Amino acid sequence: MKYIILLLIFSNLLFADSDDIKANLEKLTSTEFGGRLPGTTGIDKAAQFIKEQFQEAGLKPINDSWFQEFSVKSGKKLSGENNLSFNIFIPRPGIPKEKLRPRTATWNNMVDWTPLQFSSNGSYNGEMIFVGYGISSESLAYDDYSNIDVAGKAVVILTDSPNGKSKTGKFARYSSMRYKISNAKEHNAAAVIFIKSQDDSANVLEKLDVNNRMSTNSGILAAQVSREKFIKYFPKNAGLLKLENSINETKKPASVTIDNKEISIIINIEDIKYPTKNIIGVLEGKNPNKYIFMGAHYDHLGVSNSGSSRYRDNPPKIHPGADDNASGVASMIEIANRLKNNKPEHSVIFAAWSAEEMGLLGSDNYVNNNFDLKENVLCYLNFDMVGRLTNSKLSILGTGTAEEFNDLINKTAEDYNFEISMIQTGMGPSDHSSFYKAKKPVLAIFSGIHSDYHTPEDTPDKINWEGMDSIINFSIDLFESIDKKGNLTFQEVQINEKSKTIRRGGSSVVMGVIPNYSDIDHGFIIDGVTPKGPAALAGLKGGDILIEVDGDKIVDIYDFMYSYWDKNPGDIVVVKVLRDNKDEPISLKVKLAAKE
């Protein structure tokens, strides 16, 4: 009888743990937290809830504070004067244009036109030239800028491509606005005016205040105008619809100057900034000055139908983010609870990161600005999307970042039925990358992608609770083996960093740099280079600011990506970088490699 009682007690403890995991996950995905978007009251409530769970797990704040606060950018807003008007000249025989008195038409901001998030601030007054889809491609023998000089002028560009909205046609890789912006700058245009291609949403203006990584300043004025209103400004013998249909049917450019019309545009926009916070707690170990980190991001997409969301219908919906990443946070809280009664050899820092979905901003901010424990960190364990285990398939990233990891993982896995995919690289689209860039061994636990990713359908009812509990048990056993092992030997992974190096789907080459998504006004920062990749062999280093490629000015990451868009493997490009806060640029020759 006593064995039955013991078994019942043990079973009840297990179920109590499972109930806690489920309760915490469901709380994080509740409507009260509104999808946990940085800058909202919902994520602030989530942060407070996580802090309370850390407290209940016996964790202590670091330096008397649970929160590490920072700000994030989330879209743009109007700031100061924003005007768009047109001067329309009626030709008269024998009278030069400069002596004609134009008729002025002023358009309503946010109704007839809008600045685009990636616009610079400034003004332009002058000619307009229609340049079709704004594409230049040697490989396709197609150039909307051929035989036409747009230097110092405004270019009018259609969205999409001659393939329409197709994502598979030969022009598809040239359809993004940021490519078209970079190409316009390469041709020395002064401003870019976008018109939507013909479809049901042709007059719908882009939103200015949504979170979007594309919102970094492009270094050129950029706006979108109402197709319905602007179409009237095209010449009668060369109407927009006629030109557009011609390009689509013949796949040949049809660029033309928009005669007798001048545009006057003033744009002033600024970043919308919101405060947000990481939540940090520590479980003191027997060796209190050596640390193992465990982390999971708690932010998600909020109420959305744009940006990173894969949901595009109306109205916008709450994205609960049950697997991404309430599952990781709930797992981390559970691990903290299970460890609190057995003091580990090393202290354990638990971190709930904010703004991961915006580009690992929370963990990057901590590592770059508050990582005073860096020298005493043994390794970092990441939990991101651990709630949808299917067919016992579990992925672990970062297995090559410490010499000892493979043996430790294989030994731990002997007691489990997982089919483990061991991925060596320490880079990837989650917070472990921030620690790997700081040259710390990392492991990232991941149960796999699914069709509900970044949609409102990522809900708690689809969580594999039993699988999640198995992952938690495995992670605790793995942690204990690392904790017992102590010092680890960091390794840079000598393979192509597929998950995070800058690559383009349609390009045949790779340079092998790891981007930093910080928005600066003079180039873009690289966080590192692929070991033995083209950039590394040329001498580029993490922290370099790229400002020029083959004579083309680089304002941001998009300029850089498109600067070698049509290059071939073996081509050599001259890159200029700023290094170590010095004003004098360094020139380096990079031999591009074939994309694998």
Residue 252 is predicted with a pLDDT of 96
Is residue 370 exposed (0-12), middle (13-18) or buried (19+ Cβ within 10 Å)? Answer: middle
d(CA 385, CA 44): 21
Residue 165 is predicted with a pLDDT of 82
Answer yes or no: is pLDDT of 585 > 70: yes
d(CA 469, CA 248): 55
Which DSSP category does 325 fall into?
I
Condensed to tens digits (0 to 9), the pLDDT of residues 191-238 reads: 999 999 987 677 889 888 776 655 788 899 999 999 999 999 998 888
Residue 498 is predicted with a pLDDT of 40
d(CA 575, CA 586): 8
List helix spans (H) across 286-349: 327-339
Tally Cβ neighbours within 10 Å of residue 410. Answer: 12
Question: Taken in order 324, 326, 330, 335, is the CA torsion positive or negative?
Answer: positive
Residue 92 is predicted with a pLDDT of 82
- Structure tokens, 129: 């030239």
- What rounded mean pLDDT belongs to the chain? 89
End-to-end CA, the chain: 64
Residue 524 vs residue 3, higher pLDDT: 524
Answer yes or no: is pLDDT of 453 > 90: yes
Answer for the pair 115, 78: CB distance below 8 angstroms, yes or no: yes
Most confident stretch, 97-101, 362-366, 544-548: 362-366
Count, in order, helices (H) and strands (E) of the chain: 12, 28
- Structure tokens, 449: 């992608």
Beta bridge partners of 354: none
Condensed to tens digits (0 to 9), the pLDDT of residues 476-515 reads: 999 999 999 999 999 998 754 343 344 334 457 888 887 7
3-state helix, strand, coil in the chain (%, to 5): 30, 30, 45
Answer yes or no: is pLDDT of 17 > 70: no
The region of weakest confidence among 26-30, 439-443, 561-565 is 561-565
What's the predicted TM-score (pTM) here?
0.78
Answer yes or no: is pLDDT of 8 > 50: no
Residue 371 is predicted with a pLDDT of 64
Condensed to tens digits (0 to 9), the pLDDT of residues 105-152 reads: 999 999 999 999 999 999 999 999 999 999 999 889 999 999 999 999
d(CA 498, CA 403): 21
Sequence-ordered list of residues with C-beta below 8 angstroms from that of 180, at least 6 positions apart, any chain: 133, 134, 135, 157, 174, 192, 194
